[in-house]
Structure 1
Amino acid sequence: MFKQLTLTALAALSIAAFAAENDGWTSMFNGKDLSGWKSNEETPGSFSVEDGVIKVSNGRAHLFYTGPNGDAKFQSFEFKAKVKHMEGSNSGLYIHTAWQDTGWPEKGYECQVNSTAHKDPKKTGGLYAVKDVLDKAPVGDGEWFDYHIKVEGKHITISINGQVTTDWTEPEGWDPATALKNMPGRKLTEGTIAIQGHDPKSVVYYKDLFIKTIP
């Protein structure tokens, strides 16, 4: 009886520890294939899985998170992933976005992923064309780093390796058609996450992608 109680207690502790560790986070990538994601295949073969990570290469395309039921969308949430950009590479993480067959996603914001050597001065950790990190990327090329995005109401925070790089609140009455050139959809509503394939010379890797809704 004592042994049975001990095993039961240990099992309960393990379950509690697992719950505490996960703390509401949902895994978005199984490390094997692109289940739960859908590419628009604007440039075929831009997204693949190699050695347990998502590889982005080959050309412009976007990989949209659909989730297990095909209808994933979020309002207030936290997102985290490990990212590695190779020299001269550009990519991005779209938030509050929606499926689009071609072109740069029109809905939502882009959280920039851009290496030290790419010609675009808007670097990793910025909110593209809204609150940019200019000229100098906060991390080097060829190294894994932590990318964290938090959207709570109208407040967007981006952190790289635990350091805040963007802290921005969408103003009351925000009109992106007036505030931004050719970006009328840059507004917080609700939507999914999308990974950007930028150009044929860019190679970027993603792994350990998780999301958690904020009530």
Structure 2
Amino acid sequence: MRKLLSCLILALFLAACAGSKPNKINDKDWVSIFDGRTLNWWKVGENSSTFRVENGAIVVEGPRAHLFYDGPLRNHNFKDFEFKADVMTTPGSNSGMYIHTEYQQTGWPSKGYEIQVNNTHSDWRKTGSVYAIADVKEQLAQDNEWFTQHIIVQGKKITVKVNDKIAVEYTEPENVNRPNDMAGRLLSTGTVALQGHDPKSKVYYKNIMIKPLD
């Protein structure tokens, strides 16, 4: 009888543990949005083969494509936040990190801003640029070496740091008027994305993190 009672108590304890809810993510801290093994929580439209995971990093190599964060953190919709990743380019490569964007099946994202990733590609807008809005001509990082790109979005201000050095501080004017082909280049809310630029570009991303600020 005592043995049966002990078994019953153990069974009830295990059932309680199995039914308990995991601790809620503290979304006021840095949160990893890439597990280092899969593309779970990410969504890609055209040319999905451009993105793969190798050795704990997202490898971007192939035709134009965009990989959008589609996971549970803040229901992948951010306003004020920090976004950073460790990045490594190869010679002549081009990529980008998008903010305040939204999923598109095809084409270049029409919503939000692109923060450039380009150390030696022929495009003169280099790593750290708020693309075509506040551009950087100086090369701030090297190919074949890991560097950190850190983007801070707060209110109407975007700050971009490359290896902790401020590359851009851009404040969006009130009632800004963009040309038609850049009408969506505005701060609002949205997800983040990584860019596959062209078949000759190969870029690596790891330690991809977000810290909500609101």
TM-score normalised by L of structure 1: 0.84
User: 1:174–1:59: structure 2 CA closer, same or farther, 3 Å change rule?
Assistant: same
Q: Is the 8 A contact 2:62 2:200 kept in 1?
A: yes
Deviations 1:62-116 (A, max 9, x none): 0000113794110000011100010000000110000111111000000000122
User: 1:169–1:47: structure 2 CA closer, same or farther, 3 Å change rule?
Assistant: same
* Runs of 4+ that moved beyond 4 A: none
Per the alignment, residue 160 of structure 2 pairs with 158
Which amino acid in the other structure matches residue 214 of structure 1? L
Q: Secondary structure of the residue that 1:123 maps to in structure 2?
A: coil
Q: CA RMSD in A?
A: 1.5
Aligned residues: 188
Which amino acid in the other structure matches residue 33 of structure 1? T
User: 1:88–1:67: structure 2 CA closer, same or farther, 3 Å change rule?
Assistant: same
Find out whether 1:92 has 2:92 as its counterpart.
Answer: no
Matches within 5 A, 1:194-209: 194-209=193-208
Per the alignment, residue 128 of structure 1 pairs with 131
Per the alignment, residue 150 of structure 2 pairs with 148
> Can you give the 5+ residue segments of structure 1 that lack an aligned partner in the other structure?
1-21
Deviations 1:121-140 (A, max 9, x none): 00101100000012x32011
Per the alignment, residue 44 of structure 2 pairs with 39
What fraction of aligned residue pairs are identical, expressed as a percent? 51
Find out whether 1:26 has 2:24 as its counterpart.
Answer: no
CA distance in 2, matches of 1:127, 1:156: 8
Q: Is the 8 A contact 1:36 1:70 kept in 2?
A: no
Which amino acid in the other structure matches residue 81 of structure 1? A
Per the alignment, residue 170 of structure 1 pairs with 172
User: 1:43–1:70: structure 2 CA closer, same or farther, 3 Å change rule?
Assistant: farther
Which amino acid in the other structure matches residue 96 of structure 1? H
Which amino acid in the other structure matches residue 25 of structure 1? W
> Can you give the 5+ residue segments of structure 2 that lack an aligned partner in the other structure?
1-26
Moved more, 68-77 or 95-104: 68-77
Which structure shows the bigger proportion of residues in strand conformation?
Answer: 1
CA distance in 2, matches of 1:137, 1:182: 27
Task: Determine which of 107, 110, 114 is the counterpart of 2:114.
Answer: 110
Which amino acid in the other structure matches residue 211 of structure 1? I
CA distance in 1, matches of 2:118, 2:139: 7
Per the alignment, residue 16 of structure 1 pairs with none
Per the alignment, residue 11 of structure 2 pairs with none
Per the alignment, residue 13 of structure 2 pairs with none
Q: Secondary structure of the residue that 1:176 maps to in structure 2?
A: coil
CA distance in 2, matches of 1:105, 1:201: 20
- Deviation (angstroms), 1:55: 0.2
Which amino acid in the other structure matches residue 172 of structure 2? E
Which amino acid in the other structure matches residue 172 of structure 1? E
Per the alignment, residue 12 of structure 1 pairs with none
Q: Secondary structure of the residue that 2:135 maps to in structure 1?
A: strand
Deviations 1:165-208 (A, max 9, x none): 0100000111223xxx6211000010000100000000000000
Q: Secondary structure of the residue that 1:129 maps to in structure 2?
A: coil
Find out whether 1:193 has 2:196 as its counterpart.
Answer: no
- Deviation (angstroms), 1:59: 1.2
Which amino acid in the other structure matches residue 157 of structure 1? T
User: 1:70–1:213: structure 2 CA closer, same or farther, 3 Å change rule?
Assistant: closer
